[in-house]
Every structure is written in C-alpha cells, then in structure tokens.
Structure 1
C-alpha cells in the first residue's frame, strides 16, 4: 500500500511539474514574441528617424514578394506612416555578390529619396566585401539622399565604370551588385509611388 501511495504521489508531483512548466511557457510565449518583434523592429527600422513614423511598419507589409528586377529580386516591403500618411517605404532586396547572396534593406522617403541602406545578410570575403555588414556603414551612407534620377542612370555605377560612386576597397563585384540593387529599388519605388504613397508626397 505504501508503495502504491508513493507511486501516486510521484505521478501527481510529475503532473504538477509538467503543468507548471506548460503554464509558464504559455504565459511567457506572448511576452517573448513581443520582445522579439521589438528587437526585429529596432534592427530593421533604425534607418528611420523615430519621429518620422507612428505605426508599426513591420505589421503593414506591401503586397509584393519575390519580384524579379534588372539586377536583384525584391523579397518584400513595408510601409511607414505618420498620422495616417505614408512617410517611407522599406524594401528588402536580394542580389548576388562575389561569394553569395546579399540581402539589403532599403529605406525610401515618400518623395523617392533614399533614407538609408542596411545589410541584413551577406557572405562576402571578410575584410573586403564583408565590410558591407558593418553598421553604421560609411560607404552605404554615401547613397543617402539619392533618387532614381539623381544621379542619372549612367551615374549609377562605380567611378571606374564612368559612374559617380566609389567602391568598397578591394570589392568591385560586391560594390557593383549593391549599387545596381539600390538603383533597382529606387526605380521600382518610382513605378509604384502612386500606389504606395499616393499624392501625400510633396516635391
């Protein structure tokens, strides 16, 4: 009898332990997910001035996925708004670098000017194209303020290719790929500007 009681008690204790563990996991799952979303937001949105939007852009995706462009592929995008008016578009673009895929996040304001570019993924050569992953990134910052027409199409190239941009030292292929991807994104934005930001933008 004592043995039976001991077994029952052990089973009950095990059940209580499992139940408590499940309860803790269930109640904390939402909090963990919310914290992860906050981390993702900070990582993805730190190119936008905090006072330039008041929505949750990552919860307002644009209707695009895996759109092939001239030199890259648009994987997706998000819309930032302030007081209900579009303030910026963030486009996730992928291109092929020297050693593999490069994924960039490209922020464009409602007037079509580049707010910033951030590397999300890359596998370029460390110390060369791999410097693309540094944040903040001086080379990527050199594109801020540009648009699809500023410079003109032939200016969207390396200086060694008669364009207007310097390259990452020792990383010609990587630099060309990024320049073409940024230009792709800016042109695509212009083509869809009315659809995404309507007439809220002011020249």
Structure 2
C-alpha cells in the first residue's frame, strides 16, 4: 500500500508539474508572440516613415492601407497591404511590400515607396540573409547605397538603364558582390511596373474620398 501511495503521489506530482510547465510555456509563447509582433510593427513604422516622413503627410500609414495580390512582387499569391501616404486627403505615395527572390542567400524582404508621379520615393530592406560585409550593404544601417534609388524612374527611355552597372545600367554594384544589388534593383523596377499598371486601383480610395 505504501508503494502504491508513493507511486500515486509521484504520478500526481509529475502531472501537476507537466500542467504548470505547459501553462508557463503557453503564457511565454503568447507574450513573446505579442512582443515580436509589436517589435515588427515598430520596425515597419520606422521604415515607412523613413521613406515618407510623418511631418510631410497627415494620415497614419499603418492604418491606411489597400489590399492587393501580386505574386510577381511578393513571391506568393496571398493578399498583402500597400500603405498609403496622404496629404490633404490625396495619396501622394504608395509603399509596396516586395520580395526579391534572387538574393545571393535567399529572399530579400523590402518595401518600395512610389510617388504619385511614378518615381521612387525610397526603398528599405527589412530582412535578408546576405553576406556580412558584402551583400548586406543594401541595408541602410550598413551603407547609403540604397538611397541612390530615390527619385529614379524606369519608364520610357529610362527603362533599360534601370539596372546595375555590370548589366549596362546606372546603379553601382558592390565590389565583389553584384547579385544582391542586382536583386534589389530588379525588385524595385518590378514595383514601379506594378504601380504604373495598377495606379488607378491603388489611388482610387483617395480619389473617391476626396470628391
């Protein structure tokens, strides 16, 4: 009887420990998930407002979006949000999430801001796995290379030159690393193409709301 009592006590103890441990893990996962989501949102907000400074618009871009589906930009067929920058109710720029699938070490997640006139408002790399000291120079924290895309266009006679120098274009590549800047420039060009083709749909909320 003493043995059975000991076994029962041990079993109850182990069960209680397992329940408490599972509860702690669940609480930790939920709190961690919320913290990660907040950090991602904060990082996204910083990147958005680096492209379009908050002082130049009168809306909250994180709350002013339009859904779109573009596998050629995103690498999948799930809806994503384009962020709208408004001034006096009029959209002055659209910021598109973009995936460059042809980075040296895999996908490069970016956002590309496009002004109403179809030129680049700015580009920021949000996540990548490029080689430190080489391909990671597409990150603004590592170099100012990506600022060279500002105000550029790829329409009309400027299309062929929207490429890195090695491909006959106007954008510098990095010494010893051409694949990464080529991927970023190509993804930016596709974003400009998408905006130009879908301009009416992307800007329609502003037009409708203003009239």
TM-score, structure 2 normalization: 0.70
The CA deviation string for residues 91-131 of structure 1, in whole angstroms up to 9 with x for no partner, is: 11011200111011111111111111111000000000012
1:87 matched residue in structure 2:
92
Shift of residue 37, structure 1, vs aligned partner:
5.1
Q: Structure 1 CA distance, aligned partners of 2:38 and 2:129?
A: 29
Aligned length in residues: 172
2:71 matched residue in structure 1:
68
1:102 matched residue in structure 2:
108
Q: Which has the higher helix share?
A: 2
Alignment of 1:41-60 (within 5 A): 41-60=45-64
Matched, 1:188 2:194: yes
SS in 2 for 1:126: coil
Shift of residue 76, structure 1, vs aligned partner:
3.7
Alpha-carbon RMSD across the aligned residues, in angstroms, is 3.2
Shift of residue 173, structure 1, vs aligned partner:
0.8
1:156 matched residue in structure 2:
162
Structure 1 stretch displaced more, 114-123 or 163-172: 163-172
TM-score, structure 1 normalization: 0.72
Q: Structure 2 CA distance, aligned partners of 1:39 and 1:100?
A: 21
Which structure 2 residue ranges, 5 or more long, are not aligned?
1-36
Which structure 1 residue ranges, 5 or more long, are not aligned?
1-32
Matched, 1:129 2:135: yes
Shift of residue 86, structure 1, vs aligned partner:
0.5
